[in-house]
Amino acid sequence: MTDPVYLDNAATTPLDPRVLESMLPHLGGRRGNPSSLHAFGGAAREGLEEARDRVASLIGASPEEILFTSGGTESDVLAILGLARSAGPQKRHAVVSCVEHAAVRETAERLHSEGFEVCWIGVDADGLVDPAEFADALRPDTALAAVVWANNEVGTVEPVPELAEICAEKGILFHADAVQAAGRVPIDVSEAHISTLALSGHKLYGPQGIGALYVRNGVSLEPIIYGGGQEKGLRSGTQNVAGIAGLGTAARLAREEMEDRTTHERALRDRIMAGTAEIPDVFVNGHRERRLSNNVHLTVKGIEAESLVLFLDSLGYAIGSGSACSSGRHKASPVLVAMGLSEREAFSVVRITVGKENTSEEVEGFLGAFSTAVAQLREISPLYAG
Amino acid sequence: MSDSYRPQVVDHLVRPRNAGEIGDPSGRGESGDAACGDVACFTVGISENVLEQVRYKVYGCAACIAAGSALAELVDGRDLLDAARVSKADLEDALGGPMPVGKEHALTLVLDALHKAFEDHWNRKADEMFLEAQGGPRTGGKSVVAAMSGGVDSAVTALLLKEAGYDVATVTFRLHDGERGSRSCCSPDTVLFARETAHRMGLPHFTLNLKELFDRRVMQDFVGSYSEGRTPNPCVACNAHVKFHASSFLADELGFHHVATGHYARVEEGPTLARPVDESKDQTYVLWPVPRDLLSRTIFPLGDYRKTEVRAIAEERGLAVAYTPESQDICFIPDGDYRTFLRKRAATEPGDVVDREGRVLGRHAGVVDFTVGQRRGIGVSAPTPLYVSEVRPRKGQVVVGRKQDLEVREVRVRDLNWFLDTEEASCVQVRYNGSPVSCTVEEESEGAWVAHLDEPVIGVAPGQSAVFYTGDGERVVGGGVVGGS
């Protein structure tokens, strides 16, 4: 059997060999703690600051506005809790979209249970937030608002700069989860009035277990981890130097190669959309144009996603069932429900996400396997009358 | 690994066995729904108790699809009794081991769908036949259909028969929609529980849907009797028309000789009913209407045991049912509030509470609230306690009197079912927990009997059972329904 084909790049990307190369010096040999004053510490510190520069460049920030975390989830949680807890007793209201990643959604629910009032902003059938509705929800006592830059399930790209502008005019802090968007959508925080922004390494061909949070100069944040005072006291604990170096390289490559990558991805994505559209009762979810360059999200009527994913896995193709984070919980994805899908439809969705390594041969092979799997599973489905 | 699938599961997913649907099946069963996430559907072709064809369809996770495929492969071409014996454990073995955590439900779902297809098969064959006594008595053979409710008594019944060397097939009846744990996706918990208990004993299990029959012969009679001022006994009605007939039907279909239930009673020569060893659990009073030819093929294994021994047996053999609570008085009114149950179903109007001379003492909200012998809830104050002595539904009247006014020395009985010579009837019991009173019986006219009591009794309510026993009080001579005085 040939090597399996990986089409689940929104779950995690392969590690770029150039990224791995840049990490190795920090994993072996003369390792130091970046907080140490001696030469060993200095070398580590140098790696850290070089990476900080590179991450800052990817999103148009200054290096001192970047702090490193253990990943996208920690960045989101630190931003939401940190902003809310430093907002003061008069500001106990938050505005959050219904299409957030679980890291933001569940943290907002946590705020609610701590006495915060949370206003959930709905979306249209394409998963898009309406700026007018968003603006209406903002109040004088609103501490923060949060809208994902690009949704991790259906890939819809939200009008984040516009929403951030509305908040800036009213003096309200705005958090953007850019874990899926970074490297695919141009992000420039010197233009957009964003207060905090979350990034993750392993969605950018970087290592897993590393992330970054952009915190605009002047925005104050309550930390959630206490200790040695690293990362300006906002994220205590000795830094993951090798991971950070990897993230730095990944950010640099993402900036340099963004156009090539997205052009390549878009071609593969559009071929998959066109190929799957030939199968009856297969529908694309999410916005057709305002969509991540690598994302195809499909409802496949009459089949439960998990069986399709495993079937394709046995044929050598790895795809995602809805959002990888909600599979295994057997609860309809809140994002899909917010977009108006029924419970049953929400169990019949798969996510195919291409990456820079995929080829058009792989995509053609996938389309053949997909149509075989769908036909056979529908054959045994009592809910599909072809 | 507990959270990922075994290769056998993936193999069944990719190469499903027996997938599809039979065009003209002898039975079809579906389990699950969208809320549950999964739907399984089985169609079966059964001929002479052999599962000649089986097809399945599943919408659901890989576990459900693979479980459906493995189950279809396990039962295809098998004898129906063996197919009905296939358990979750067998299914696990076929799939290479336990399902990943959170996927165990797949096994329950596909088994339930297959069993519903069997149930559909029986129901198509049965039609209205439950109404008639089935077949002739077949004695001598060692095969038995044991009714299983999911409780400890019926489970131990099946176990004792198996240990005594019988071929046992178990059956659970769907009687009404008020079962505990009723959910939309699968069968009620009581059915699933009974099936698992049977399977753990290695016994085949079937279900029969008797809801329509039970509604007509038991529940409607229950409501109707109260509206007519009578006090019905639903267990008696069930034993007269439902439980034994359905068990017997299945025994005939399977070519089995006997039927068995977990009642505390014994069957003696005649045939007749005799008191059980555990007199505190005696159920002969509600078994009198079982027709003679059905009783002659009936076994009550628990008649020789005390309840404490039955629980001990269940515990010793590791039956999970050992700790289930005692069943309620009326199975279709689980909360025991039968007044509310009646009021929802019977039109009832307010009327007068009167004394025996016809003087109006007060008002009542409806005759269905009253039973002869009742003391509470009459709503009329008097120097001595008042009891309901008669209910007159046509006039909307409830007649009350003093305790001694309720005394009767004659009881009229109709709809008799005699097991022994009527001359052997020397005492009569008129209440479930009452004691027998000495009497002589006399046939007033064709089918209408009267019992002359040696001492007065109170609270003889029309609609209840009058059961006659032999001189030693041990054997049932016959029984009937108390009529108006």
**pLDDT digit string, tens, across residues A151-201:** 999 999 999 999 999 999 999 999 999 999 999 999 999 999 999 999 999
A338-379 pLDDT tens trace:
999 988 888 899 999 999 999 999 999 999 999 999 999 999
B407-482 is classed in which CATH architecture?
Beta Barrel (2.40)
Instruction: Give residue-wise pLDDT tens across range B402-460.
Output: 888 888 899 999 999 999 999 999 999 998 878 899 999 999 988 899 999 999 998 78
Taking residue B42's Cβ as centre, other Cβ atoms within 10 Å add up to: 33
Q: How far apart are CA B258 and CA B256, in angstroms?
A: 6
Q: Do A381 and B40 touch (CB under 8 A)?
A: no
User: Taking residues B185-211, what's their average pLDDT?
Assistant: 89
Contact B61 A306 (CB under 8 A): yes
Query: Is the confidence at residue B331, as pLDDT, over 90?
Result: no
Q: Give per-residue pLDDT as tens, B119-172.
A: 999 999 887 556 554 555 555 689 999 999 888 999 999 999 999 999 999 999
Tell me the per-residue pLDDT of A303-339, one tens digit each, with 9 for 90 and over.
999 999 999 999 999 999 864 443 444 678 899 999 9
> CB–CB of B57 and A382 under 8 A?
yes
pLDDT for residue B1: 37
Mean pLDDT across the stretch B243-253? 94
Neighbour tally for A337: CB within 10 Å: 15
What pLDDT is attached to residue B71?
A: 97
Contact A358, A14 (CB under 8 A): no
Please tell me the predicted confidence (pLDDT) of residue B465: 94
- Chain B hits for A303, CB-CB cut-off 8 Å, are 59
Element (H, E) at B46: strand B38-47
CB-based contact B39 A383, cutoff 8 Å: yes
Subunit contact A307:B38, Cβ cutoff 8 A: no
Q: Give whole-number Cα distances, A303 to A346, A349, B6, B11, B435, in Å.
A: 11, 9, 21, 18, 64
Q: Which of B41, B61, B331, B439 is catalytic?
A: B331
Q: Which domains does chain A have, with CATH numbers?
A: 5-12+258-379 (3.90.1150.10), 17-253 (3.40.640.10)
Residue B59 has its nearest CB partner, among A310, A314, A381, at A381
> Which position has the higher pLDDT, B228 or B313?
B313
**B-chain residues within 8 Å CB-CB of A1?**
none
In this prediction the ipTM stands at 0.81
Q: B41 in contact with A at a CB cutoff of 8 Å?
A: yes
- Given this model, what pLDDT does residue B372 score? 86
B238 labelled catalytic: yes
Q: How far is B112 from chain A (nearest CA, A)?
A: 15
Instruction: Specify the 3-state DSSP secondary structure of B12.
Output: helix
Position B5 scores a pLDDT of 87
Residue B366 and residue B350 in contact, taking contact as beta carbons nearer than 8 Å: yes
Angle between helices A39-59 and A17-27 (to 10 degrees): 150
A307/B62 Cβ within 8 A: yes
Residue B170, phi then psi, degrees to nearest 5: -100, 155
pLDDT exceeds 60 at position B34: no
> Is B439 marked active-site?
no
Which CATH architecture best describes the domain B348-405?
Roll (2.30)
Q: Which two tokens stand for residue A362?
A: 């792989």
Fold of B130-323: Rossmann fold (3.40.50)
Which residues partner with B56 through β-bridges? B19, B42
Mean pLDDT of chain B: 89
pLDDT tens digit sequence for A50-93? 999 999 999 999 999 999 999 999 999 999 999 999 998 999 99
CATH T-level assignment (fold) for domain B7-126: Sufe protein. Chain: A (3.90.1010)
How far apart are the CA of A342 and the nearest CA of chain B, in angstroms? 10
CA–CA min distance A304, chain B (Å): 5
pLDDT over 90 percentage in chain B: 61
Q: How far apart (Å, rounded) are the C-alpha atoms in residues A308 and A321? A: 8
Per-chain mean pLDDT for chain A: 94
Residue B322 has pLDDT above 70, yes or no: no
Indicate if the pLDDT at residue A284 is higher than 50: yes
Q: Considering the entire predicted model, what is its pTM?
A: 0.86
Question: What whole-number distance in Å separates Cα of residue B302 and Cα of residue B283?
Answer: 11
pLDDT of B36 higher than 70: no
What are the structural domain ranges in chain B?
A: 7-126, 130-323, 348-405, 407-482
DSSP B229: T
Instruction: Tell me the angle at which helices B105-126 and B243-254 cross, rounded to the nearest 10 degrees.
Output: 90
